[in-house]
Amino acid sequence: MEKWLFWFDEIDKDSSELVGKKCANLGEMSRLGMRVPHGFAISVKGFEQFMSLTGLAQEVEAYIGAQREDLKQVEVCQAVSRKVQGLIESTPVPESMKKEISAYYHALCDKVGRKNLAVAVRSSGVVSMPGQMDTYLNVVGEEAVTEHIKRVWSSSYTVRAMTCRIEQEMPVEWAPIGVAVMMLVDAKSAGVVLTVLPTTGDMTKVVIEGNWGLGESVVGGEITPDSFVVDKENLTVLDRKVSTKQGMVGRETSGTTYVKVPKELQGESCLDDEEIREITKTAIDVEKHFGVPQDMEWVVDKDLPFPENIFWVQARPARFTKVEKAEDIDYIIDLMVRIFD
């Protein structure tokens, strides 16, 4: 059987077709020496094997194909999505595949030195469709990891994902994706950094946004995050907005929950100046490496010392468009919905 599981340090930026863009970038960041949580990638071949070995490939293709012309109708698309996702999620993963996933999960536990390690299970599309497929945090144990991998595969057939493929004139019936399984950082705070200002296209500055807890509250837009504008040249904080952050996303025994921020932290900055500078420096280095402005996700571990406490869980190009003006050309960011791509 063709290899379909890869440690992050086995892949790089040229592996997008194999494991999806997110996993490929995580591999590249690992090779750059950045602090990326330990993890492994499930290639698109994993999805294809699951669909083929279970007979779902033909069943799903025939079912969606028969209604392809009507999928632009919301009710039809919703019904098809429910049916296909139900088929995938109710079909057991073949035993041979379960064994390989379990072996990698236990090896990951050994790498980190924790039994029943909590992980994030994240989608990794070959074609970038930000926010269209699902991510699961704080997944614990081999059975749960296998089931959540299947849920990520299933999310390739959500209404939003199918609609996106229709709009881009891509095949709707067949949409293999990669999956990242990575150690979940015990987050003190988390957020995003862009190496270009989204409001003006100014490439001499970096903007950082963050909140206490896991990053879902920032990328999902549930709260007004802290915001810092930093000069790339001298790493000076030019603008600092510390909001009153009343809610955050925290860990439960399994999964996550939205909780109230402790009163003494609500008006406090979720990052200190040392952490801001370190995040900025790393983001600038990644921008230089890839040659384009970056949209990145960071997490600060609550137990480790600085700078080992800063981890990187995503890097992708920040989309921007050239806009002609009478006197010059401005670069304006067409921001993605920064929910886990």
Q: What is the pLDDT of residues 106-149, one digit of tens each?
A: 999 999 999 999 999 999 998 766 566 888 999 999 999 999 99
Residue type, 108: L
Cα–Cα separations (whole angstroms), residue 335 to 2, 161, 209, 292: 37, 18, 14, 14
Examine the fold and report which residue of 128, 151, 183 is the final residue of a domain before the chain moves on. Answer: 183
Q: Which helix (H) or strand (E) holds 182?
A: strand 178-183
What letter does residue 262 receive in the DSSP assignment? P
What are residue 295's phi and psi, to 5 degrees?
A: -120, 110
* Contact in structure between 179 and 11 (CB atoms under 8 Å): no
Total domain count, the chain? 2
CATH number of the domain that residue 264 is part of? 3.30.470.20
- Residue ranges making up the domain that contains 253: 187-333
The answer to whether position 340 is within a domain reads: no
For residue 129, the model assigns a pLDDT of: 61
Residues 150 and 275 in one domain: no
* Contact in structure between 80 and 162 (CB atoms under 8 Å): yes
What's the pTM value of the predicted model, to 2 decimals? 0.88
Residues 235 and 169 in one domain: no
Distance separating alpha carbons of residues 256 and 136, to the nearest angstrom: 9
Residues 53 and 172 in one domain: yes
Q: Is 273 exposed, middle or buried (0-12, 13-18, 19+ CB in 10 A)?
A: middle
Instruction: Convert the pLDDT of each residue in 41-77 to its tens digit.
Output: 999 999 999 999 999 999 999 999 999 889 999 999 9
Residues of the chain with pLDDT > 70, as a percent, come to 91
Q: Which helix (H) or strand (E) holds 210?
A: strand 205-212
Residues 48 and 166 in one domain: yes
The answer to whether position 28 is within a domain reads: yes
CATH number of the domain that residue 132 is part of? 3.30.1490.20
Distance separating alpha carbons of residues 239 and 207, to the nearest angstrom: 9
For residue 134, the model assigns a pLDDT of: 87
Residues 294 and 213 in one domain: yes
Instruction: Convert the pLDDT of each residue in 270-302 to its tens digit.
Output: 999 999 999 999 999 999 999 999 999 999 999
Cα 24 to chain center, whole Å?
Answer: 12
